[in-house]
Structures are given as C-alpha cells and as structure tokens.
C-alpha cells in the first residue's frame, strides 16, 4: 500500500509569521482548539479543504500552493 504524502507546512508557518499570527490566534480564527491546530501543523492530523481555504482567506489570499505543499 502506498504511503500518504506528508504535508509540508513551512510556507504556512512563514506566511503566519509575516502576518504576525500565532498558532493559537489562527486556531481561534478557525474556531478550533489550539491543540487541534498544532496537531494539523505537525502532520498528526489533516487540514480539511474548507480549513485550508479559510486559512488562505485569513492570510490575505493566494493559492493552496502558496501555503501548503507536499514534501
């Protein structure tokens, strides 16, 4: 069975840093617990498509490739 590709959130971390938004603040804006957001950022859980789109909107727009890419 093929292994699931790992999401690399380094661009997302960079964009959040540029906008001075912490993980806790982003979690709050998304309506989720900070620990849930942390698990998603570390790859222990997946972002839903709707969560990813919301993140892009919060950070000012762009495409999925601007924030998330597979390593």
Q: What is the DSSP letter of 20?
A: T
What is the distance between the alpha carbons of residues 33 and 30, in angstroms, rounded to a whole number? 9
Domain that holds residue 30: 7-66
What is the distance between the alpha carbons of residues 19 and 38, in angstroms, rounded to a whole number? 18
pTM tops 0.75, yes or no: yes
DSSP run (H or E) holding 56: helix 49-58
Specify the CATH number for the domain of residue 40: 1.10.260.40
pLDDT digits (tens, 9 = 90+) for 13-56: 999 999 999 999 999 999 999 999 999 999 889 899 899 999 99
Has residue 2 been placed in a domain? no
Into how many domains does the chain fold? Answer: 1
DSSP run (H or E) holding 27: helix 23-30
């Amino acid at each position: 069975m093929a292994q699931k590709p790992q999401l690399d959130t380094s661009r997302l971390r960079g964009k959040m840093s540029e906008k001075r938004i912490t993980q806790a603040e982003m979690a709050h804006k998304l309506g989720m617990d900070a620990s849930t957001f942390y698990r998603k950022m570390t790859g222990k859980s997946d972002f839903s498509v709707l969560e990813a789109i919301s993140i892009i909107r919060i950070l000012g727009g762009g495409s999925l490739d601007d924030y998330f890419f597979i390593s």
